[in-house]
Structure 1
Amino acid sequence: MCLGIPGEIVELSADRDDLAMVEVAGVRRAVNTGLLGPGEVRPGDWVLVHVGFAMSKIDEAEAAATLELLRGLGSAYTDELEALASSDIT
C-alpha cells in the first residue's frame, strides 16, 4: 500500500529551490517540493509526502487528522515510515 504521509517543512535547502527538509513522526528527510512550484512552501507548512515528493500542501488540522487515521492502519503506516527513514533523495 502506498500512502501520502503528512510532514512539516522544517528547513528549505540553501542549494536547491526544489528541496526541503521535512519531519514526519520524528524522522527528518529531504523531499522534492518541485511539484508545488517555486516559493510555495516555507518552514512550518505541512505537506503530503509520497515517494520523496511533496504532493500537496495541507493545513495543520488536516495533517493531524490524517496522522491519526494513518496510525490506526497499523503496519501499513509503520511500513511507510520505515521506507521514509531509509530513503535519501539527495
Structure 2
Amino acid sequence: MCLGIPGEIVELPRDGSDVAKVEVVGVRRAVNVGLLDEERLHLGDWVLVHVGFAMSKIDEAEAAATLELLRGLGEAYDDELDALSRSDLDLDLDKN
C-alpha cells in the first residue's frame, strides 16, 4: 500500500530546482515540489508526500490529524515508514 504522508519543509529548492528537503516523521528526504509551483512554499510549511512528490500543501492541523489517522493503520503505516527510512532518496541540496 502506498500512502500520502505529511512532511514539513526544512529546506527550500535553490537555483530553479524543484527539490526541497522535507522531514517526514523524523526522516529527512529530498522531495520534488514542482507540482506545487502555484503555491508559495516557506520553511515550516507542510506538504502531503507520495512517492517522492509533494502532492498538496496542507496546514499543520491537517498534517497532525493525518498522521494520527495513519498511525491507526498499524502495519501498513509501519511498513511505509520502514521503506522511507531505508530509501536512499536524500540529495545534498548544497551541491546545486
TM-score, normalised with respect to structure 1: 0.89
Cα displacement (A) at 1:16: 4.5
**1:29 to 1:89, Cα distance in 2 relative to 1, 3 A:** closer
How many pairs are equivalent? Answer: 90
**1:62 to 1:2, Cα distance in 2 relative to 1, 3 A:** same
Structure 1: distance between partners of 2:53 and 2:70:
18
Give the SS at the match of 2:42: coil
Further displaced range: 64-73 or 29-38: 29-38
Unaligned 5+ runs, structure 2: 92-96
- Note the alpha carbon deviations across 1:3-39, whole angstroms, 9 max, x for none: 1000000111334530110001100000000011166
**1:80 to 1:15, Cα distance in 2 relative to 1, 3 A:** farther
TM-score, normalised with respect to structure 2: 0.84
Structure 2: distance between partners of 1:69 and 1:51:
19
Match of 2:31 in 1: 31
Match of 2:44 in 1: 44
Unaligned 5+ runs, structure 1: none
**1:89 to 1:26, Cα distance in 2 relative to 1, 3 A:** closer
* % identity of equivalent residues: 74
Q: In terms of Rg, which structure is larger?
A: 2
What is the alpha-carbon root mean square deviation over aligned residues? 1.7
